[in-house]
């Protein structure tokens, strides 16, 4: 087994919820399965624009896939390998990003503050779940998997681009303004959209926003980051290939690891290896 597919404690089959299990990809075939899933969700369901090679192979892929870790949710009813992959998340540590000349997010944002951060950082991306598995248990076990990974690698800050549907910022004025006014990252960690791609997020005054309605309108992934105390960078980016408006999300992992540590300690005490729904 190569270092890329080396097991990680807590992510080698221990995290289970019913028929679902979360772990890192162990083989190239499992990576291929995650790329096929990404293609189905991003290009067939969400109408992103694939390259000719992507369309021919029905896979979403780039250079980062060969150096990163692929977190998988597997439905064991369909098999315990590639055939069972129903969810995925791409995890890129600094060492992996260096092999590709930098982090993926740098194509949209100036992330100098994150790159110079003294602790370990982790870029999250390419998150998707099969349309038949978009349930609370699936998302819970996916987040448990991220927490285990963060815990093992001593990650201090997570970041990545998260998407809102559509490419018209005016139609997203309330959620974008809400994020800007209520969740802007502190200056020492704050990414800024590259000037050539910068779109203002403060499209509404703070007193014009219904915070509850704006939060409820956000995609589940962004809500999840915010519940963990996440922040956003300065400016949104229009991604015409994926038909989305992107924001850069940053999460300090103190809360993630403390929740996971409490869970890990509890299951170790009672001898249970099965995840329970919160």
Quick one: pLDDT at residue 261?
54
Nearest to 81 by CA among 2, 3, 13: 13
Residue 31 has pLDDT above 60, yes or no: yes
Quick one: pLDDT at residue 167?
95
Residue 278 has pLDDT above 50, yes or no: no
- Name the residue ranges covered by the structural domains of the chain: 3-270
**Average pLDDT over every residue of 198-216:** 97
Decide: helix, strand or coil at residue 129. Answer: strand
pLDDT tens-digit readout, 235-275: 999 999 999 999 999 999 987 767 655 554 444 344 333 33
Average model confidence (pLDDT) for the chain?
90
Structure tokens at 87: 């969810």
User: Which class does domain 3-270 fall in?
Assistant: alpha beta
Beta-strand pair 120-129/155-165:
parallel
* Cβ density class 242-277: b for 16+ within 10 Å, e for less: bbbbbbbbbbbbeebbebbeebbeebeeeeeeebee
Structure tokens at 240: 């015409």
């Amino acid at each position: 087994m190569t270092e890329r597919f080396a097991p990680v404690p807590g992510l080698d089959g221990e995290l289970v919820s019913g028929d679902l299990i979360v772990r890192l990809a162990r083989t190239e075939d499992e990576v291929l399965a995650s790329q096929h899933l990404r293609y189905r969700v991003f290009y067939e369901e969400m109408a992103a624009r694939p390259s000719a090679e992507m369309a021919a192979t029905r896979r979403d892929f780039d250079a980062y896939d060969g150096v990163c870790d692929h977190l998988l949710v597997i439905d064991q009813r369909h098999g315990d390998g590639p055939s069972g992959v129903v969810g995925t998340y791409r995890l890129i540590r600094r060492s992996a990003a260096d092999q590709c000349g930098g982090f993926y997010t740098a194509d949209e944002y100036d992330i100098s503050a994150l790159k110079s951060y003294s602790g370990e950082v982790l870029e999250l991306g390419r998150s998707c779940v099969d349309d038949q598995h978009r349930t609370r248990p699936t998302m819970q076990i996916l987040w448990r998997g991220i927490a285990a990974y963060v815990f093992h690698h001593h990650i201090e800050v997570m970041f990545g681009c998260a998407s809102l549907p559509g490419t018209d910022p005016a139609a997203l004025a309330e959620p974008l303004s809400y994020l800007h006014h209520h969740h802007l990252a502190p200056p020492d960690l704050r990414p800024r959209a590259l000037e050539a791609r910068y779109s203002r997020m403060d499209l509404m005054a703070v007193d014009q926003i219904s915070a509850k309605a704006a939060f409820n309108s956000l995609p589940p992934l962004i809500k999840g980051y915010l519940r963990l105390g996440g922040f956003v960078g300065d400016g949104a980016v229009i991604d015409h290939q994926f038909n989305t408006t992107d924001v850069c999300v940053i999460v300090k992992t103190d809360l993630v690891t403390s929740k996971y540590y409490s869970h890990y300690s509890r299951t170790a005490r009672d001898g249970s290896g099965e995840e329970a729904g919160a």
